[in-house]
Amino acid sequence: MFAKNAWYVAATPDEVDAKPLGRTICGEKIVFYRGPEGRVAALEDWCPHRGAPLSLGRVVEGRLVCGYHGLEMGCDGKTVAMPGQRVRGFPPVRSFPVIEKSGFIWVWTGDAAQASEDQLPELHWADNKEWAFGGGLYHIACDYRLMIDNLMDLTHETYVHTTSIGQPEIDETPCKTTIDGDHAVTSRFMNGIQAPPFWRMALRANGLPDDQPVDRWQICRFSPPSQVHIEVGVALAGRGGYDAPKQDKAYSIVVDFLTPETETTMWYFWGMARNFRPDDKALTAQIREGQGKIFAEDLQMLECQQANLSKWAGRDVLKLNIDAGGVQARKVIERLVAAERSTLSV
Amino acid sequence: MFAKNAWYVAATPDEVDAKPLGRTICGEKIVFYRGPEGRVAALEDWCPHRGAPLSLGRVVEGRLVCGYHGLEMGCDGKTVAMPGQRVRGFPPVRSFPVIEKSGFIWVWTGDAAQASEDQLPELHWADNKEWAFGGGLYHIACDYRLMIDNLMDLTHETYVHTTSIGQPEIDETPCKTTIDGDHAVTSRFMNGIQAPPFWRMALRANGLPDDQPVDRWQICRFSPPSQVHIEVGVALAGRGGYDAPKQDKAYSIVVDFLTPETETTMWYFWGMARNFRPDDKALTAQIREGQGKIFAEDLQMLECQQANLSKWAGRDVLKLNIDAGGVQARKVIERLVAAERSTLSV
Amino acid sequence: MFAKNAWYVAATPDEVDAKPLGRTICGEKIVFYRGPEGRVAALEDWCPHRGAPLSLGRVVEGRLVCGYHGLEMGCDGKTVAMPGQRVRGFPPVRSFPVIEKSGFIWVWTGDAAQASEDQLPELHWADNKEWAFGGGLYHIACDYRLMIDNLMDLTHETYVHTTSIGQPEIDETPCKTTIDGDHAVTSRFMNGIQAPPFWRMALRANGLPDDQPVDRWQICRFSPPSQVHIEVGVALAGRGGYDAPKQDKAYSIVVDFLTPETETTMWYFWGMARNFRPDDKALTAQIREGQGKIFAEDLQMLECQQANLSKWAGRDVLKLNIDAGGVQARKVIERLVAAERSTLSV
C-alpha cells in the first residue's frame, strides 16, 4: 500500500549521467535520463516500437535513443524520430513528472495533473554551505512501511546497533509521539548518560571531550508519503541539551527517503546531514561509512520480518507506545491512499 | 504428506548453542534455543510485538530476547518482559514439545496434548559406551518419502554408489519385505561375495582380512513417522553371517532421520552407529567422511526425481518387489495422517 | 506458441556422446543418447520405475541404463530389462522421432506419425567440402519469436552491434519483404558503402582490400517452424554485388535455429557457413569467436524485452515496414499451430 500522488526520491543525480537508468518506483517501470540541457526526464521504460526497455538505450543530444532499433523518444513520451519512419502516429508512452532538487531526483508516480513542485519537501540543509550531507542507497526486500516503523521506534538501536548507537537508556527512557497534521513526531530525551561509540566519535570531531556525561536526543519526524527525518545529537550534560549552544554539542539529521519499489520491496535512500565541519570531506566519508554499516544491520531483520509477515499474512502485531510513531504514519498513508481512491471513483 | 503428531529430529545438540536456531519442520517455522539450565525450547519463530523472527535474537539467562526491540520470551511462549512495557496481555506464541535425547533434538509438530516422551524411539546404541556414532545433515529439495523409498530399496547402491558400497550382487539377490505393525522391514542376505571398498575398509578397521569372501547383509527397518535404520555388515564367509561372532564381522547401523521441511523439501539427518573400536575417534571421522560422500551421491538423483514427479504430477510409478519397503512405509504414513484427520473432524 | 509437428534442432552431435543429454524442447523433457551403432535416440526423460530422469543414467551397449535402479531402456521407449524383474508389463515412455543430419540432431516433438525425414531442411552447405561451418549455442530467457523478429529486422545491428556489423546505412536503406509460401524473405542491398569491421576482416580473409567501397547485402529467409538463414556479404563496389564473381566478394550464410524450450525460453543455435577458405580452421575459429561475441550482445536486449512484454501483457507493439519479416513469420507459425489444433479437434 502506497500513495501514488506523491513525490518519491527515485535516484541520486550521479545515478543518471550519460546513460539512462531503469528503476521501478511504486510498481512503475521507469527510465530516467537527462534530456535537453541536462534536465532529468522520466518515462515508462517501454519503447512503443517493439516493447524493448528504453533504459538499454543511450542519450543523444537530449533524446533517448532506443538501443534496439533507434527510435528517438522525447521527454514528453512522444516519439521524435526513427530512421526511415514517419512517427507521428506512434503511440506515446507515459511521461512522469520529475524534478532534480536538493541533491535528489524526485518522481511523481500518480496523476501528473496533480503534481506541483510546491509539494516537494523543503530540505533546509540542502544547498546550504553550513551543512554537509553524505548518504547511500540500499535495496531491501520489505514493505517500505516496515522501515518507517523501524525509524520511528529507535528502541531497536539497543538491540540491532549494539556497537555503535545503541544503549540501554533508549529503552529505559519513554518516548512521546505527537501528531501535526500529516506529520508524526516521536521524540526521546536522555539526560546525563554516557555517549555510545558513534557519538563519542562525533564529539571528538566537534573538538569536544568524549568521556563526559551528555544529554542525548532523538526527534523522529515522519512526513508523507514516506520520509523520516531524525534530529539526533548529544550535548555536554547540562548545557541545554537539544537547545545547547552549537559549540557544546554534536548535532545531525538522519535523512531517510523510503521509496516503494513493489508492495514488498523498497529503495532505501539514507544519509546524514550535519552542521559541524561541513567542509571536512574526510569526515563526511567517515560518517557515511559508519552509517552505512549501521543501516546495513537493519536489512536482515527487516527482510526476515517481511518473510514472517508474508507467511503469517493477517496475523496481528502489537501497537505499543513505542510503536505510536509508525502506527500514526501508517494512518496518514492509509488516509492518502483512501483519498486517491475516492477521487478515482468519482 | 506427513504426520504432525509425531517426534521428528529437528537438529543436533551442537546446532543449538548460545545462539537460537531457526528451522522449518513440517511447515512450521520454529526457533530452537536453550532455556533455563540449558534445556532446549521450541517456539513459533514469531515475536508477538512486530512479527520479527525470534531466531535473530539472543539468549540471556534462559530467556529468548528478540533481536529487534528486546521483548523477552519464555519457554512456554509467553512474554516474560519487555523494557518499558506491561506484557501480561501480550498474545502468546505457540510452544512446541521438544526433547533432547540420544544425541538429537526432537520436536513434536502436532497437537501438544498428545506428545509424550514414551513415543520417542529407543536408540540402544546411543549413550552406550560400546557404540560410537558419527553423522551429518543435508538439506534436500524432495518429498521426504522419496528418501524413504531410497533407503528401503538398496538396489540403488549398485548404480548410485558404484565406487563404495554398490555391487551387482545386491541386484541379483532377492530381498524380502515383512510388516510388523507400523514397521516395515526389507532384508537381503548375500553370501560368499567379495566385499566392496567401503566394507573392505571396515574389515581392516576390525583387524580382519579384506580379500576373502564375505557374507553381507542389509536389514532396512522403517519406523514411523520417517525413520529408517539399516543394519548393515559383512562377516567372513561361513562364520554365521549376521549372527557371526563379533570378532568375525564388521557390523553397523545406518541411521536415517528424515524430517519434512515442506511438502517437497526435507532435512536429512544421516549417520552410522558402530560397535567396533568405539573409542577410535579418527575412525569415526573417517567413516563419517566416507558416508557423507556416499549419501551426497543421492542428492542430485532425488532432487531431479522430485522435479520429474512435480512436472508429471499424478503419473504412475511402478511398485515392484524391491519397492515393497517404501510402499509399505507410505501406507503406514497414510494411515497415520488419515487418523489425525479423523480426530480433527470429530 | 509453437508448432509441435516440426523438426527442431535439439543439440549438436558432440553434445550427445557417451553420456545422455537431458534437454527440454517445446516443453517436452527429453533425454537424448546414442543407441545401437551410435544412432541418436530421444525419449521422455522419465524412468517408468520411479520417475527418475533417465538423463542421469549411462549408456551400456546402446541401452540407456537408469542411474537409480538399473532399468534398461530401449530406443523405442520400451523397457528391455531390469535386474531381477520381468519387464514385459512395464509402461512404455514416449519415444520421439530424432535424426542426426547436416551437423545437427533434430527432434520432432509432435505426432510421431506425421514425422518424415523429407521435412528436414536441405542445408546445401552442410557436408560440402567447399563450405565451412562454425557455431554455438546460447540459452535465452525469451519467446523464440522475439529472436525471429530480431533476425528478420537487421536495423538492430546499427544499435546493438555498433562495433562489428552495424552501420547507419542499414537504417537508411529500405528493406523489402516478400512471401514465398510458408517462407518470408526480407532483403536489403546497400551499395557503395564502407564495410564495417567484421566485413573488413572477412575481405582480408578473402585476400581483398578492406579500404574500398563495397556493395553489401542481407537476405533474411524465415522457414518454419523457426529457422532464419541470412545470406550476408560484401563485394567490391560495382562488381555485381550479390551476383559478383566469387573472387570479388566475401559471402556467408548466417545460420539460426531457434528452438523453443518453453513459452518464454529458448535455445539459440547460431553459426555461420562460408565458402571461402573452407579448410582454414583458424579462420573458422576466429569467425566463430567474433560471431559469438556479436550474438551475445542480443541476449540482454531480448531478455529485457521479454520481461517488458510479460509485465505489460497484451500491450500493442508496432508493425512497421522493417518488422514485416517477423510479422509474416509469426503469421506462418500461427497458421501451423491452428492447423495442428484443428487436426486434434477432428
Tens digit of each residue's pLDDT (9 = 90 or more) over C68-93: 999 999 999 999 999 999 999 999 99
Average pLDDT in the C320-341 region? 96
**What 3-state class would DSSP assign to A53?**
coil
pLDDT of the residue at A16? 97
- How many CA within 13 A on the CB side of residue A9? 30
Structure letter (DSSP) for residue C130: T
Angle at B137 between CA B6 and CA B254, to 5 degrees: 75
Structure letter (DSSP) for residue B279: T
Q: Which residues, numbered 40 to 79 in chain A, qualify as contacts with chain C under a Cβ-Cβ cut-off of 8 Å?
A: 45-46, 48-53, 56-57, 65-70
Distance CA A184, CA A220 (A): 8
pLDDT of the residue at B164? 87
Pairing of strands A28-34, A176-180: unpaired
Cα B29 to Cα A86, B44, B99, C52, C136, distances in angstroms: 60, 6, 17, 30, 46
- B303, containing H or E segment: helix B281-311
CA distance B117 to chain A (A): 30
CB C335 within 8 A of CB C179: no
- pLDDT per position as a tens digit, B292-322: 999 999 999 999 999 999 999 999 999 999 9
pLDDT of the residue at A106? 98
Distance CA B33, CA B95 (A): 12
Contact B68 A317 (CB under 8 A): no
CA distance B21 to chain A (A): 14
Contact B309 C91 (CB under 8 A): no
Q: Which of B226, B166, B202, B160 is nearest to B287 (CA)?
A: B202
Q: Considering CB atoms only, which of C158, C300, C317 is closest to A49?
A: C317
A98 Cβ neighbours under 8 A, 6+ residues apart: A10, A32, A40, A41, A42, A105, A106, A107, A108
φ and ψ at A287, to 5 degrees?
-65, -45
Q: Considering CB atoms only, which of B49, B83, B85 is closest to A317?
A: B49
Distance CA A164, CA A293 (A): 10
Q: Which residues, numbered 139 to 198 in chain B, qualify as contacts with chain C under a Cβ-Cβ cut-off of 8 Å?
A: 149, 153, 155-156, 158-160, 168, 171-172, 174
- Closest CA in chain A for residue C314: A51
As given in the structure block, the three cell numbers for residue C325 are 519479416
Pick the more confident residue, A239 or A342.
Answer: A239
pLDDT of the residue at B344? 66
**Chain B residues with CB inside 8 Å of C29's CB?**
308, 311
β strands within B4-130, DSSP E: 7-11, 21-25, 28-34, 40-44, 58-60, 63-65, 72-73, 79-81, 98-101, 104-108
As given in the structure block, the three cell numbers for residue C310 are 510479460
Q: Which residues, numbered 193 to 222 in chain B, qualify as contacts with chain C under a Cβ-Cβ cut-off of 8 Å?
A: none
Q: Which amino acid is at B277?
A: R
CA distance A204 to chain C (A): 50
Contact C311 A29 (CB under 8 A): yes
B48 Cβ neighbours under 8 A, 6+ residues apart: A317, A318, B71, B79, B90, B91, B92, B93
> Residue C165, Cα to own-chain centre: how many angstroms?
20
| B contact chains, 3+ CB pairs < 8 A | A, C
Residue A80, judged by CB atoms within 10 A of its CB (0-12, 13-18, 19+), counts as middle
Q: Considering CB atoms only, which of A48, A68, A91 is closest to C156?
A: A68
Mean pLDDT of all residues belonging to chain A: 95
As given in the structure block, the three cell numbers for residue B95 are 510452544
Q: Considering CB atoms only, which of C83, C90, C91 is closest to B155?
A: C83
Crossing angle between the packed helical segments C144-152 and C324-345, to the nearest 10 degrees:
140
Q: Using CA atoms of B111, B114, B117, B118 in order, give the dihedral in degrees to the nearest 10.
A: -140
Distance CA A311, CA C110 (A): 42
As given in the structure block, the three cell numbers for residue B135 are 553423522
Q: Which amino acid is at B239?
A: R
B128 Cβ neighbours under 8 A, 6+ residues apart: none
Structure letter (DSSP) for residue C291: H
Q: Considering CB atoms only, which of C158, C174, C301 is closest to A52?
A: C301
Q: Which of B328, B291, B285, B27 is nearest to B178 (CA)?
A: B328
- pLDDT per position as a tens digit, C251-301: 999 999 999 999 999 999 999 999 989 999 999 999 999 999 999 999 999
Give strand pairing partners of C25: C28
Give strand pairing partners of A193: A214
Average pLDDT in the A260-286 region? 96
CA dihedral (C32, C34, C40, C42) positive or negative? negative
Contact A301 B48 (CB under 8 A): no
Cα A199 to Cα A196, A215, C212, distances in angstroms: 6, 11, 71
Distance CA A128, CA A122 (A): 12
Give strand pairing partners of B180: B183
Residue C341, judged by CB atoms within 10 A of its CB (0-12, 13-18, 19+), counts as exposed
> How many Cβ contacts (< 8 angstroms) between chains A and B?
71
- pLDDT per position as a tens digit, C11-26: 999 999 989 999 999 9
Q: Check pLDDT > 90 for residue A332.
A: yes
Structure letter (DSSP) for residue C55: G
Distance CA B308, CA C47 (A): 10
- pLDDT per position as a tens digit, C167-190: 988 989 999 999 999 999 999 999
- Closest CA in chain C for residue A89: C318
**Chain C residues with CB inside 8 Å of A57's CB?**
159
Contact B49 A153 (CB under 8 A): no
Average pLDDT in the C104-125 region? 95
Distance CA C260, CA C140 (A): 10
Predicted confidence band of residue A343 (pLDDT cuts 50, 70, 90): confident
DSSP C261-288: EETTEEEEEEEEEE-SSTT-HHHHHHHH
Angle at B164 between CA B159 and CA B167, to 5 degrees: 50
pLDDT of the residue at B343? 76
Contact A315 B46 (CB under 8 A): yes
C268 Cβ neighbours under 8 A, 6+ residues apart: C137, C138, C139, C140, C147, C256, C257, C258, C259, C295
Contact B52 A172 (CB under 8 A): no
As given in the structure block, the three cell numbers for residue A179 are 501528531
Contact A69 C322 (CB under 8 A): yes
Predicted confidence band of residue C345 (pLDDT cuts 50, 70, 90): low
- pLDDT per position as a tens digit, B321-333: 999 999 999 999 9
**Chain C residues with CB inside 8 Å of A67's CB?**
159-160, 301
Q: Which of B260, B255, B266, B265 is nearest to B291 (CA)?
A: B255
Distance CA C52, CA C54 (A): 6
> Residue A122, Cα to own-chain centre: how many angstroms?
14
pLDDT of the residue at A345? 56
Give strand pairing partners of C322: none
Q: Which of C49, C53, C48 is nearest to C20 (CA)?
A: C53
| C contact chains, 3+ CB pairs < 8 A | A, B
Q: Considering CB atoms only, which of C29, C67, C70 is closest to B155?
A: C70
Residue C195, judged by CB atoms within 10 A of its CB (0-12, 13-18, 19+), counts as buried
pLDDT of the residue at C342? 85
**Chain B residues with CB inside 8 Å of C50's CB?**
149, 305, 317-318, 323
| A contact chains, 3+ CB pairs < 8 A | B, C
Q: Check pLDDT > 70 for residue B39.
A: yes
String of b and e for B41-66 (b: at least 16 CB within 10 Å)?
bbbbbbbbbbbbbbbbbbbeebbbbb
Contact C153 A69 (CB under 8 A): yes
- A230, containing H or E segment: strand A227-236
Q: Which amino acid is at C266?
A: M
- The maximal CA–CA distance of chain C, rounded, in angstroms, is 76
CB C20 within 8 A of CB C13: no
Cα B209 to Cα B163, B185, B195, B242, B252, distances in angstroms: 20, 30, 11, 17, 18
pLDDT above 70: percentage of residues in chain A: 99
As given in the structure block, the three cell numbers for residue A282 are 574526510
**Chain B residues with CB inside 8 Å of C84's CB?**
155, 171-172, 174, 321-322
Q: Check pLDDT > 80 for residue C343.
A: no
Strand order in the sheet with B104-108: B7-11, B104-108, B98-101
Predicted confidence band of residue C344 (pLDDT cuts 50, 70, 90): low
- pLDDT per position as a tens digit, B57-69: 999 999 999 999 9
Q: Which of C260, C259, C242 is nearest to C251 (CA)?
A: C242
CB B64 within 8 A of CB B32: no
- The maximal CA–CA distance of chain B, rounded, in angstroms, is 76
pLDDT above 90: percentage of residues in chain B: 94
**Chain B residues with CB inside 8 Å of A161's CB?**
none
pLDDT of the residue at B345? 56
Contact C52 B312 (CB under 8 A): no
CB A306 within 8 A of CB A141: yes
- pLDDT per position as a tens digit, A93-123: 999 999 999 999 999 999 999 999 999 999 9
Q: Check pLDDT > 70 for residue B156.
A: yes
